[in-house]
Amino acid sequence: MIIFPAIDIIGGQCVRLVKGDYATASKVAEDPLETARKFEAAGAEWIHMVDLDGAKAGYPVNTEIYRNIAQNTHLKVEVGGGIRTLETIQAYLDLGIARVILGSVALKNPQLVADAVAKFGADKIVVGIDAKNEMVATEGWLETSEVNYIDLAKEMIKAGVKTFIFTDISKDGTLSGVNAEQLRKLAEATAGQCNIVASGGVHTIEDIRICRDLGLYGTIAGKSLYQGTLDLSEAIREADTLKIRRMKIEDYDALYQMWIACGNGLNNLDDSREGIEKYLKRNPETSFVAEAENGVIAGAVLCGHDGRRGYIQHMCVDPQFRRRGIGRRLVDAALAALRTEGIHKVALVAFKKNALGNAFWEAEGFTLREDLNYRNLALTDMVRIDPDYC
């Protein structure tokens, strides 16, 4: 489960509200960028940001702040508040924003949501469902509709939406605990169809455990972080539901799609389903996948050996899960398995053109060798990654 630290902005200032009431706005931090950097240093990979001025005005107001954070940190930024048109969505994405949150427009103009998903992809569009007494609220929570929050979620799923942020407004900013019952009902009503992020009421680490155990995709934490009732690093550790397990041929379709998405060059023979199946039959104990929320394959390492030397053929992590230490954990699993089989020397087969992947291996202690090639691949020798290897 992903922890999303939150920064809400009014007049360029970091604030928090109580139950969405603008009159309760209180400043919680001095500088948005420095606050974001502190969250990043604590281990966050995402940051949740809301333009409260924009939510009230119906158009973006504090855009420069979001651009600054997106371009001057490694955080993935999601932004909501006042986003009403495809042009606004495009402008945010062009600034490096990872995804945008559509709130009021989901109820008032559902066709725009469908158009946004079709144009930009479901991974770029989030729908925020904010409710009072289970009824959807809009316009910066200033208006309440007669639409049930679960009914809106079901309609948005039909429009192609894959990720929702659900906020119980009565809980927001109160530090009174998450509304586990409403989250449970939403999760059960949409099981297997979408990702759910909990928002509102997070107080202590127990709220993180509740959301994790509900199988949610993420949890937003705001006031609890600023007031110190929740430690971000601890929350991130507690939320980790990642499972490292041995690779199976049944994983192939998901793996192939991930390899393509990561830009890994593949050859037709070894990387076909049949080729991978033969590889796994020869080396059934040494290849691993990282399985994340809802059974999603977040990363994989394809590893084998010839009795003398181990080979890591592929290692990649889905972009949305990077910065979570998955690559390191996959490598550790592969090395431990090779050690069990008596292998103490390892080489890596890496694509010369895969600059991002090569940078990872170099940072882990591998040295690229340009003099040895295999099907246009650069052979990389491991020189230092574990005291037992050379």
- Whichever domain contains 262, its CATH number is 3.40.630.30
Same domain, residue pair 193 and 249: no
Same domain, residue pair 74 and 185: yes
- The last residue of one of the domains, among 210, 239, 268, is 239
Higher pLDDT, 79 or 172: 79
Left (φ > 0), alpha (ψ -120 to 50) or beta: where does 83 sit? beta
Same domain, residue pair 165 and 272: no
Catalytic residues, which ones?
A: 8, 130
Same domain, residue pair 251 and 271: yes
Same domain, residue pair 86 and 225: yes
Given a contact cutoff of 8 angstroms between Cβ atoms, the answer to whether 99 and 80 are in contact is no
pTM of the model: 0.72
Structural domain harbouring 39: 2-239
Number of separate domains in the chain: 2
Q: What is the pLDDT of residues 98-136, one digit of tens each?
A: 999 998 888 889 999 999 999 999 989 999 998 888 888
Higher pLDDT, 325 or 334: 334
Residue 140 lies in a domain: yes
CA distance 183 to 173: 17
pLDDT bracket for residue 377 (50, 70, 90): very low
The pLDDT of residue 228 is above 80: yes
Residue 147 lies in a domain: yes
The pLDDT of residue 371 is above 90: no
pLDDT bracket for residue 315 (50, 70, 90): confident
Q: What is the per-residue pLDDT for 57?
A: 87
Same domain, residue pair 221 and 297: no
Q: What is the per-residue pLDDT for 384?
A: 39
pLDDT bracket for residue 67 (50, 70, 90): very high
Q: What is the per-residue pLDDT for 265?
A: 53
Residue 387 lies in a domain: no
Higher pLDDT, 90 or 325: 90
For the chain, give the mean pLDDT: 84
What's the angle, vertex CA 75, arms to CA 384 and CA 131, rounded to 5? 140
Residue 202 lies in a domain: yes
Same domain, residue pair 283 and 220: no
CA distance 346 to 373: 16
Q: What is the pLDDT of residues 259-280, one digit of tens each?
A: 777 766 555 556 788 888 988 9
